[in-house]
Amino acid sequence: MGFYSPWALGFLALTPLLILMYILKQKFEEREVGSIFLWQKVLKDVEVNTPWQRLKKNLLLLLQILFVMLAAFTLSDPYFRTAGSGYANLILVIDNTGSMNTRYGEATRLEEAKALAEAAVRNAGGKTAITLIRGGRYPEIMLSKAADKGEVLKSIRGIGESSTAGSMADAVSMVKAMARAYEAQGGYKALFYTDSGVSAEGLNAEVVRLYSDTQNVSLDYISHSIDNGRLKALVRVSNRSNEEAAREVSLYSTEALLALQSITLAAGETRTIGFEVQSPPETVYIWAELTEQDDLSQDNAVYEVAGQSKPLEVLLVSETNVFIEKALLGVKGLSLYKTNPGETLAGPYDLYIYDGNVPEILPSSGSLLFLDPPSSPPINGDEGSLFVSGSEQSGGRAAFLQHGVTRYVEAAAFTVSKLKKLELPYWAETVIAVGDSPAAAIGEYKGRKIAVIGFDLHNSDFVLMPEYPIFMNNLAAYLTNQSFESKSAYFSGDAVALSPLPETESLRIIDADGKPHPIPLQYPIPPFAATEKTGIYEIRETIGENERISYFAVNYPTETESAVPASAAQQTGTDLPESSSDAGTSLQMWLILLLLVAAVTEWEVYLRGY
């Protein structure tokens, strides 16, 4: 036991004074009485007031002594030392990774960790500063040196489930950085609540390992192909339990059930099962699910987007143009192929780029981009579709005109030494101009998107500007009608890079729970990181009166979060000398209640004349 205010114990010195008051003789007046009947009473009063006589039993005296002692102890604010509370600073680290959602008795590991952390807070002293860290994909300091226990308890209860992967190593590093400062501020104790191994060497820490044997089967992976109307899907299933498990795996296309297959796995076995069914007419995404629930539900489903994994193919016909190659290689979702003028390379391609040359016969499909064209190519063999590329003219200062392709670069300008004189057909519009002359134009003719840049990139300083790759990304997105999501499958907590079409007027993401997330259209567009829930996410782009919808899948990281090492041992860090800081479970409130009871009892005894 310790005392927050030990000086108050000095009030115990009043106890002997109180006793002395009872044993000292009290003065009284002599009075004549009319009867000897009262003589015995007078004799007793004389005996009582005789100084230094033996102290007789007196209930009122005992109650007054008790009151003085309780008052002194209450003012001294005593406390009991408890685990983790004998320090001025208490650091709580709660693991919030996906594996903490595993069942633990009647609750989950996360719920048990929160309950233990709440108990540690209640046992901490009234003057203990508490730091709360949530350890997930990235550690987060939720509270720093908080003195209000109610606030700390509220923050602990507010830690929700997560499906992300993560390591406690970053949280340990964060605690070590805090420990250096806390050691000079009355000492510290760190408590880690996790189901994974933590190396707390060098820390005055206790690691509470919340491991429990589980019955868990996970779906780790799904892939598919569609050929001649037949959907073929592969699903990898793993038994994470220590005993045999039988499960049913269901395959869905969007919301329709396609097939059901039973599987029995030995302890620790992993197997890939195959499905082959008739593909629904419009398969947006597929997913597989275990029909039975087990100790970890988040890894019972796995998702994949259909038809968005194939990269777009681009053919560059050029002798040497490092600038265009570098720009296109930096665009995610494109596969770039290169050939020399006059050579043929089997196609078709999604986009053809002709740098300084034009073939006699253009391909019949795919978008077209002409750089510094020497002649006027017919589109689809239609002479009426020609844009006229004439003689060269002197250049000047080039400026971007307002258009979706020039988004994020409108304020930029660059210098062109010379350029081709372009005469544009009715379907084309200028996006870069030098004075009154068009320097670059885009348009759509009979369903094909076409663009022309009327100058050699080597004859400008455009390629040296930071706006150059942005413009080329916008132009490639416009020509291929793709927003170039780098991939369509992620794990929980991953950040999703967004690259909307240049014409996009508004952008939002609908998460797996159906909640919309508006995305500001400003450069650079921040990655979307609210991906803790598993499932299918929608990307909705508004273009005029139309809405373009694409998808990506978020899956549970089974390789790290479904399999936890089977060790229930509690680990502790290096034991350091306990701090002399006054901290612990305060008894002051209980003493105040006893003090009030003693005061009421004393008053009642006095009134009754005991």
Give 407-444 as a 3 state SS string: CCCCCCEEEEEEEEEEECCCCEEEEEEECCEEEEEEEE
Q: Is the pLDDT of residue 295 over 70?
A: yes
Backbone angles phi, psi at 559, to 5 degrees: -65, -30
Confidence of residue 583 (pLDDT cuts 50, 70, 90): very low
- Higher-confidence residue of 558 and 343: namely 558
Give the separation between CA 3 and CA 586, rounded to whole angstroms.
9
Percent of the chain with pLDDT over 90: 28
The lowest-confidence range among 69-83, 222-236, 496-510 is 69-83
Q: Is the pLDDT of residue 50 over 70?
A: no
pLDDT for position 265? 92
| Across 340-346, average pLDDT | 77
pLDDT for position 584? 47
pLDDT for position 385? 61
Confidence of residue 579 (pLDDT cuts 50, 70, 90): very low
The lowest-confidence range among 494-498, 527-531, 538-542, 598-602 is 598-602
Helix or strand (DSSP H, E) at 63: helix 59-76
Quickly name the fold that domain 312-480 has.
Rossmann fold (3.40.50)
Q: Is the pLDDT of residue 606 over 80?
A: no
Residues of the chain with CATH 3.40.50.880: 312-480
Q: Is the pLDDT of residue 573 over 50?
A: no
CATH code 3.40.605.10 for 89-211+572-583? no
Cβ atoms of residues 62 and 526 within 8 Å:
no
Q: Is the pLDDT of residue 461 over 50?
A: yes
Q: Amino acid letter at 140?
A: E
pLDDT for position 566? 47
pLDDT for position 600? 82
- Category of 210 on φ-ψ map: left (φ > 0), alpha (ψ -120 to 50) or beta: beta
* Residue 146, both tokens: 């908080």
| Across 548-560, average pLDDT | 90
* Residue 293, both tokens: 């629930």
Give the separation between CA 93 and CA 114, rounded to whole angstroms.
10
The lowest-confidence range among 228-237, 259-268, 523-532 is 523-532
The lowest-confidence range among 49-53, 368-372, 426-430 is 49-53
Q: Pseudo-torsion of CA 152, 158, 164, 170, nearest 10°?
A: -10
Confidence of residue 332 (pLDDT cuts 50, 70, 90): low
Give the separation between CA 316 and CA 325, rounded to whole angstroms.
8
pLDDT for position 68? 81
SS3 386: coil
| Across 287-293, average pLDDT | 91
| Across 270-288, average pLDDT | 89
546-552's contacts with Cβ under 8 Å and 24+ in sequence apart are 548/483, 548/501, 548/504, 550/308, 550/483, 550/485, 551/284, 551/285, 551/305, 551/308, 551/488, 552/305, 552/308, 552/485, 552/487, 552/488, 552/489, 552/490, 552/496
pLDDT for position 43? 58
| Across 417-444, average pLDDT | 90
Give the separation between CA 585 and CA 567, rounded to whole angstroms.
32
Helices (H) and strands (E) in the chain, counts: 10, 32
**Neighbour-count burial for 232-254, b at 16+ CB within 10 Å, e otherwise:** ebebbbbbbbeeebebebbbbbe
For residue 139, count CB atoms less than 10 angstroms from its CB and return exposed for 0-12, middle for 13-18, buried for 19 or more.
buried
* Residue 488, both tokens: 């369509």
What mean pLDDT, rounded, does the chain reach? 81
The lowest-confidence range among 79-88, 247-256, 455-464, 593-602 is 79-88
Cβ atoms of residues 247 and 237 within 8 Å:
yes
* Residue 610, both tokens: 């005991």
Q: Is the pLDDT of residue 577 over 50?
A: no
Cβ atoms of residues 457 and 321 within 8 Å:
yes
- Higher-confidence residue of 283 and 61: namely 283
Cβ atoms of residues 221 and 258 within 8 Å:
no
Q: Is the pLDDT of residue 82 over 60?
A: no
Give the separation between CA 491 and CA 48, rounded to whole angstroms.
89
Give the separation between CA 158 and CA 418, rounded to whole angstroms.
64
| Across 530-538, average pLDDT | 92
Residue range 19-37, pLDDT digits in tens: 777 666 454 556 666 665 5
| Across 341-346, average pLDDT | 76
For residue 345, count CB atoms less than 10 angstroms from its CB and return exposed for 0-12, middle for 13-18, buried for 19 or more.
exposed
Quickly name the fold that domain 490-558 has.
Immunoglobulin-like (2.60.40)
pLDDT for position 299? 92
Q: Is the pLDDT of residue 509 over 90?
A: yes
N-terminal to C-terminal alpha carbon distance within the chain: 36
Give the CA distances from residue 438 to residues 356, 406, 417, in Å, rounded to whole numbers and listed in that order. Answer: 18, 14, 14
Q: Is the pLDDT of residue 576 over 90?
A: no
Q: Is the pLDDT of residue 95 over 60?
A: yes
CATH code 2.60.40.10 for 217-305? yes
Confidence of residue 153 (pLDDT cuts 50, 70, 90): very high
Q: Is the pLDDT of residue 445 over 90?
A: no
The lowest-confidence range among 207-216, 249-258, 304-313 is 304-313
SS3 176: helix
Q: Is the pLDDT of residue 390 over 60?
A: yes
pLDDT for position 598? 81
Residues of the chain with CATH 3.40.50.410: 89-211+572-583
| Across 365-388, average pLDDT | 75
pLDDT for position 26? 53
